[in-house]
Structure 1
Amino acid sequence: MRVTFDSAAAIYQDARPDYPAELYSDLLAVTGVKPPAHLLEVGCGPGKATLPLARLGFRITAVELGAALAAEARRRLGAFADVSVVASSFESWAPPAGARFDLLYAATAWKWVDPEVKYAKAAALLAEGGHLAVWNADHAMPADFDPFFTEIQKAYEEIGEGHDGPWPGPPPEEQPDPMAAEFEASGRFKVVGTKLYVWALRYTADDYLALLDTFSGHIAMEPDKRAYLYREIRRLLAARPDGRLTRHWSAVLTVGRRR
């Protein structure tokens, strides 16, 4: 499934949400890294989390599995001479001899890396006292979430793609940080900071369907199922006065220091 994103290279950057500016401020405060420190990004996509740090003056080596996504990232990051994009999986990437990084980070990508490889390789590539930081952008269901997402569940169930588990899921503040335990269990990183961010965005039907076209499950969905689902989304939103929905997002920043 991790290779499906490459087919969405042209729309990914604009369709996916930007991460909160506060997240980057907190990342730098916790890690203490300052330009021109050398950062390594795993799974940069088209540069969603690369651009904000490149603009601050960091040197960045970004590794991206998808060839089309890597090409899009190079196009968007072309103005930054200290940023390089490598088309490779993180697992098979061979860094330059002696390369060491001050911070390795992954935004909505770390879960796709082989668990037998990622922590050992990350630790080996970090300088003494270096940090690993990961975060995701997930669908959040706070108490005031948009009822559209309950209404559309019927369509998902009809095509055999219903929500796994109770609906709705727990609100973001009640969900544990899954990465913190994973960091510690690796034996290679000590967690030094975690923080939750929640925000909301409004979407037209076109914007929301473009977003869904960047999700692995929807990309891989059978065309007939996807067409039916998208018709139902348009039908439900057309019945609203402004034709829009509100989707809440959450991200948990987890930062670990190399042991």
Structure 2
Amino acid sequence: MPTTIARTAGRTLFGENARAYAAFRPDYPDRIFEILETRCRVGESKSVFEIGPGTGLATVPLLAMGCRVTAVEPDARLAAFLVDSQNAHADRLNVQTVTFEEAIMPAASFDLGIAATSLHWIEPGQALAKAFHLLRPGGHWAMWWNIFGDPDEADAFHQRTHALFERLQKSPSHGDGPKGHFGLDRKHRIAELEQAGFESIIAEEVRWRPVLNKQQILGLTATFSPVARLPEIERQAFLDRIGAIVDEEFGGRVMRHFMTAIYTARRP
């Protein structure tokens, strides 16, 4: 039975090719940022901390909304990419190259905290307790995941390739809940938020249906932690197999069924 990748691996797993990660990881749906505006009151001059920003898929839209962002990124390569790519917002972006567990930030000083496809890489109870401590009274918390599949309506490509991925190690995002993903296990995610002291908890799922070409499929697949962890020869063979399926069975273009699960909450 495949083992699960250690959470600590997330500190260094994604920075080897930051440009490729930035190029092939899809943006978060617009609905996510609508929720941050309307439900979490994000806007001009709001103070935000972010756990594991990576190349800035969530950071960049927040900066564009006028927020001041403290981004905590343990991988120095990803941190450097984020800093270099956001020179225009340097006065409103502070990147700490450290784990969230070790980060030092002033208590009760942020309007919003976020974790975008990152919370499964750290112990959630510990992280949420710290997040609660960092927020001002009345401050908001949001955590969400892009999920590259829809357990309620699996697409044909997922059905064709599922067995190939099942042979690999499991990401910590692979959950034990009924829908098989950490972010879709509402019962446990809500319980963890409540245990940390949050209230006004709302969960929402956003579905989207991108059409991806072979290059996009392979680029995205290469960023998945179980694939990135493979030795180079095995990784290339795996990607070659995926590419052949795209070409030979899907004519070079694939409609995927993706979804984003978001949870918002408030510190009393």
Task: Give TM-score, length-normalised by structure 2.
Answer: 0.84
Structure 1 pair 162–154 and aligned structure 2 pair: CA distance change class (3 A): farther
CA contact (8 A) 1:143 1:171 kept: no
CA contact (8 A) 1:140 1:171 kept: no
CA contact (8 A) 1:196 1:252 kept: yes
Report the number of matched residues.
250
| TM-align CA RMSD | 2.5
Structure 1 pair 137–73 and aligned structure 2 pair: CA distance change class (3 A): same
Aligned to 2:115: 106
> Secondary structure at the residue paired with 2:102?
coil
Please give the alpha-carbon distance, in whole angstroms, between the structure 1 residues aligned to 2:165 and 2:263: 32
User: How big is each residue's C-alpha offset from its partner over 1:226-254, in whole Å with a ceiling of 9 and x where there is no partner?
Assistant: 23322221221222464111222211111
CA contact (8 A) 2:47 2:67 kept: yes
> Once the 2 structures are TM-superposed, how far is the Cα of residue 149 of structure 1 from its aligned partner?
2.2
Structure 1 pair 253–236 and aligned structure 2 pair: CA distance change class (3 A): same
Please give the alpha-carbon distance, in whole angstroms, between the structure 2 residues aligned to 1:229 and 1:191: 44
Please give the alpha-carbon distance, in whole angstroms, between the structure 2 residues aligned to 1:146 and 1:58: 37
CA contact (8 A) 2:169 2:226 kept: no
Gaps of 5+ in 2: 1-8
2:189 alignment partner, one of 171, 179, 183 = 179
Please give the alpha-carbon distance, in whole angstroms, between the structure 1 residues aligned to 2:113 and 2:155: 35
Aligned to 2:247: 238
Q: Which moved more, 1:237-246 or 1:79-88?
A: 237-246
Structure 1 pair 66–241 and aligned structure 2 pair: CA distance change class (3 A): closer
The amino acid of 1:256's aligned partner reads A
Which structure has the highest helix share of the two? 2
CA contact (8 A) 2:190 2:201 kept: no
CA contact (8 A) 1:191 1:254 kept: no
Aligned to 1:85: 95
User: How big is each residue's C-alpha offset from its partner over 1:8-56, in whole Å with a ceiling of 9 and x where there is no partner?
Assistant: 3121112111111121111221122331111111111111101111111
State the structure with more CA Rg.
1
Aligned to 2:220: 211
Q: Percent identity?
A: 29
CA contact (8 A) 2:108 2:137 kept: no
Matches within 5 A, 1:39-54: 39-54=48-63
> Secondary structure at the residue paired with 1:218?
helix
Aligned to 1:119: 128
CA contact (8 A) 1:205 1:237 kept: yes
Task: Give TM-score, length-normalised by structure 1.
Answer: 0.86
The amino acid of 2:50's aligned partner reads E
> Secondary structure at the residue paired with 2:16?
helix
